[in-house]
């Protein structure tokens, strides 16, 4: 039984002797059938089969040149994204889509989708077949990500002025067009994935990928995370509790990274077992991504990150490091999540999973 319920009390930190209860997530049925990994299960090492012996990861290949790989794949993704939004009429909306989609962004999600696809594709790396089967899905995941960023940045939501080092979409194009730009990117993700995949991937697999992507966007994923995030503004961290924080991070961040990896596996024709391993891997690096993000938010400036920082604290919003545990404990958690992610990759061809191993290390050590 791989499922670790989010609300299993034995897995949660009872910080300062207090048990935090939060009704809105006390019976998240939508998550029951998914593999859920909790931050606290990592911190307290009570994750059952999730914990492998220390040092097991040393067997994996760490000499992989991740920087070159990342640049190469990001260039491929950028080229595919560029083609996916041609400058047709009406021009304003296409320009708004291209503004947020094409410039900036580390392309972590598309890269994850392609990298998760790679180990499943037999003998086609030389002809680049691996990349093609996952590219439209990789672009779709990035479109969903950018769509959610545009909507989350709106004045009626997080009211952010800067994103990826430049003014947010609504600052440039106005609120109405920003709402429509998010909608258009959301729809384009499904169109792009299904149209481009036709002929490369079987319809059965394409349908599975559509289901995975759709579930990740709505009330089982991104939207749920943002809803709880919005309702948490102004709450005292200790009152809100770590469960709420974890719910937000699992839904706002980990869910889409999980979808990226799982869709990569689906497009590559992987088995259910392989899918579950990469689902767990992605969930680990999803939490890792957010833990690092929260550390950066309190330790770096707006200029260094290319987005507003310290804003969460100013708005009374919660950040992991400031709530309950402290920075040092958070750095320790990041290291554990990174190791746990890599453990899921044991059993795959070590050369082919090298990008995924390196991605976990990159996310753990990134500084912007």
Residues that bind a copy of itself in the complex, under the rule CB under 8 A:
23-30, 88-94, 97, 147-148, 151, 154, 156-157, 174-177, 179-180, 182-184, 186-191, 194-195, 198, 202-204, 206-207, 210-211, 213-215, 217-219, 222-224, 226-228, 230-231
Compute the distance between CA of residue 232 and CA of residue 218 in angstroms, rounded to an integer. 19
With respect to a copy of itself, which residue has the nearer C-beta, 153 or 343? Answer: 153
Burial class (CB in 10 A: 0-12, 13-18, 19+), 41: buried
Compute the distance between CA of residue 230 and CA of residue 222 in angstroms, rounded to an integer. 12
Contact predicate 263/213, CB 8 Å: yes
State the minimum distance, in angstroms, from the CB of residue 186 to a copy of itself: 6
State the minimum distance, in angstroms, from the CB of residue 182 to a copy of itself: 7
Q: Give first-to-last CA distance, the chain, whole Å.
A: 37
With respect to a copy of itself, which residue has the nearer C-beta, 71 or 156? Answer: 156
Instruction: Establish whether the linkage from the previous residue to 206 is cis, with ω within 30° of 0.
Output: no
Could you give the angle at the alpha carbon of 207 between the alpha carbons of 249 and 253, nearest 5°?
10
State the minimum distance, in angstroms, from the CB of residue 287 to a copy of itself: 20
28 CB contacts (<8 Å, ≥6 apart)? 6, 7, 247
Please state the φ and ψ torsions of residue 217, each to the nearest 5 degrees: -80, -40
3-state secondary structure of 163: strand
With respect to a copy of itself, which residue has the nearer C-beta, 88 or 314? Answer: 88
Compute the distance between CA of residue 68 and CA of residue 77 in angstroms, rounded to an integer. 14
State the minimum distance, in angstroms, from the CB of residue 238 to a copy of itself: 21
State the minimum distance, in angstroms, from the CB of residue 174 to a copy of itself: 7
State the minimum distance, in angstroms, from the CB of residue 288 to a copy of itself: 24
With respect to a copy of itself, which residue has the nearer C-beta, 246 or 343? Answer: 246
Question: Cβ atoms within 10 A of the Cβ of 261, count?
Answer: 29
With respect to a copy of itself, which residue has the nearer C-beta, 93 or 346? Answer: 93
With respect to a copy of itself, which residue has the nearer C-beta, 53 or 199? Answer: 199
State the minimum distance, in angstroms, from the CB of residue 317 to a copy of itself: 14
Please state the φ and ψ torsions of residue 190, each to the nearest 5 degrees: -70, -40
With respect to a copy of itself, which residue has the nearer C-beta, 174 or 316? Answer: 174
With respect to a copy of itself, which residue has the nearer C-beta, 159 or 299? Answer: 159
State the minimum distance, in angstroms, from the CB of residue 183 to a copy of itself: 6
State the minimum distance, in angstroms, from the CB of residue 156 to a copy of itself: 4
Contact predicate 298/327, CB 8 Å: yes
With respect to a copy of itself, which residue has the nearer C-beta, 98 or 366? Answer: 98
**Sign of the C-alpha dihedral computed for residues 225, 227, 228 and 233 taken in this order:** positive
In the chain, where does DSSP find H-type helix? Answer: 39-43, 66-84, 91-102, 108-117, 129-152, 169-173, 175-197, 203-217, 222-231, 237-240, 242-249, 255-267, 272-299, 302-305, 311-314, 327-343, 354-365
């Amino acid at each position: 039984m791989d499922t670790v319920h989010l609300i299993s009390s034995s897995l949660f930190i009872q910080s300062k002797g207090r048990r935090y209860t939060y009704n809105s997530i006390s019976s998240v049925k939508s998550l029951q059938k998914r593999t859920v990994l909790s931050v606290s299960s990592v911190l307290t090492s009570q994750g059952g089969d999730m914990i492998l012996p220390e040092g097991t990861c040393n067997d994996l290949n760490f000499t992989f040149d991740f920087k070159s790989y990342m640049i190469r794949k990001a260039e491929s993704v950028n080229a595919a994204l560029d083609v996916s939004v041609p400058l047709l009429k009406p021009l304003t909306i296409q320009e708004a889509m291209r503004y947020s989609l094409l410039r900036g962004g580390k392309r972590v999600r598309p890269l994850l989708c392609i990298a998760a696809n790679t180990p499943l594709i037999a003998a086609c790396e030389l002809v680049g077949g691996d990349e093609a089967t996952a590219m439209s899905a990789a672009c779709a995941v990035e479109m969903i990500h950018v769509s959610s960023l545009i909507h989350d940045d709106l004045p009626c939501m997080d009211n952010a002025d800067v994103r990826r080092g430049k003014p947010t979409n609504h600052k440039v194009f106005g609120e109405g067009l920003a709402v429509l730009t998010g909608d258009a990117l959301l729809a384009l993700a499904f169109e792009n994935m299904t149209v481009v995949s036709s002929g490369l991937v079987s319809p059965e697999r394409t349908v599975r990928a559509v289901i995975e992507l759709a579930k990740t966007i709505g009330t089982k994923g991104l939207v749920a995370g943002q809803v709880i995030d919005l309702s948490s503004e102004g709450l005292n961290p200790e009152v809100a509790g770590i469960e709420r924080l974890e719910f937000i991070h699992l839904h706002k961040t980990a869910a889409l990274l999980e979808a990226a990896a799982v869709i990569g596996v689906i497009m590559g024709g992987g088995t259910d077992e392989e899918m579950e391993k990469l689902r767990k891997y992605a969930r680990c690096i999803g939490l890792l991504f957010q833990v690092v993000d929260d550390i950066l938010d309190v330790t770096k400036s707006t200029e260094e990150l290319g987005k507003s920082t310290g804003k969460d604290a100013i708005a009374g919003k919660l950040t992991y490091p400031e709530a309950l545990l402290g920075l040092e404990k958070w750095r320790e958690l990041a290291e554990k999540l990174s190791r746990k992610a890599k453990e899921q990759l044991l059993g795959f061809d070590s050369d082919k999973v090298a990008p995924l191993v390196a991605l976990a290390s990159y996310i753990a050590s990134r500084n912007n």
